[in-house]
Amino acid sequence: MIEIEIKAKLTELQYLNVKTYLDTNFTYNGSVGETDLYFNGIDRDFAKTDEAFRIRKEVKNDITTVYITYKGSKLSKNIKARQELEVAVADYDTMLKITKALGFKEVATVEKQRHYYKSGDITATLDNVTRLGYFIELEMLALETDDLTKYSDLLFSLLDKLGIEKSAATNTSYLEMLLNIQE
């Protein structure tokens, strides 16, 4: 699958306004706490190749689910679209030990509270990211790269409907933002 994503930083007022719109026009799918532990590659620097590899611990209604995710390089400079491969794993601690035993090095941890909304093929999330603030992410999944422009246009149209200017959108990941403020 190819993930097409638009992310924008929000003020607290924008966050509340967007939440009101989503509560009215989308289906609310609950909130989760997510802790993402990112790693660097063994044979290459993921910061240079624009890849990502993480273990995610997700807590929803006191139930913890663990995922391991690989995100490939971005397929376009103008659109945040990339291959995403993800699988649930049974045990966080064991997965962490396996990852370290294989030689992957920890880079940073991203923590956030995330509220999920859905309308048709669009997933919207409202995020409160520790040390970074409020964000909205709009996402669609495509089977082929032919759909990138069509889907990104649709997501930018929704962003506009939410009263958020296109210039507020960023291709910078939460990990990159955190690493930039640590420097």
pLDDT digits (tens, 9 = 90+) for 14-60: 999 999 999 999 999 999 999 999 999 999 989 899 899 999 999 99
Tokens of 24: 């009215």
How confident is the model over 80-135, as pLDDT tens digits? 777 889 999 999 999 999 999 999 999 999 999 999 999 999 999 999 999 999 99
* pLDDT (0 to 100) of residue 80: 74
Q: How far is CA 15 from CA 3, 11, 18, 37, in A?
A: 23, 6, 5, 26
Bridge partners (DSSP) listed for residue 125: 116, 137
Tell me whether residue 38 is one of the annotated catalytic residues.
Answer: yes
- Distance CA(168)–CA(60), nearest Å, equals 30
Predicted confidence band of residue 4 (pLDDT cuts 50, 70, 90): confident
From the candidates 21, 28, 38, 151, give the one annotated as an active-site residue: 38
Predicted confidence band of residue 171 (pLDDT cuts 50, 70, 90): confident
- The DSSP letter of residue 46 is H
CATH number of 2-182: 2.40.320.10
Q: How confident is the prediction for the chain on average, in pLDDT?
A: 91
